[in-house]
Amino acid sequence: MKLGVPIVFFSNFVPRQAEMTWVRQQPLHATFNFYNPNVEGDHQKIYWSARQDGVYHSWDNVNWNKNTNWST
């Protein structure tokens, strides 16, 4: 996964949690719900993007919302 380049996740409607670690000057870590049916509803295609200020989420690869911040 490259910084700022979206990845897409196709869901089989099973709740999943994800962990990301980004190593630069110091390791940054994020834990978040990769798929949560209470949030995603009937969206089957989910996009994720790791950026300098955190991890972002989209259903259409156009409109992005910050999902979580990095922790050290």
Task: Give how many domains the chain has, as a whole number.
Answer: 1
Residue 33 in any domain: the answer is: yes
10-residue mean pLDDT profile of the chain (72 residues): values are 62 68 79 79 81 89 92 80
Domain region containing 63: 7-68
Contact 68, 54 (CB under 8 A): yes
Residue 2 in any domain: the answer is: no
pLDDT of residue 63: 95
pLDDT of residue 62: 93
Q: Cα separation of 72 and 22, whole Å?
A: 10
Q: What are the two backbone dihedrals, phi and then psi, of residue 56, each rounded to the nearest 5 degrees?
A: -110, 155
pLDDT of residue 71: 87
Residue 1 in any domain: the answer is: no
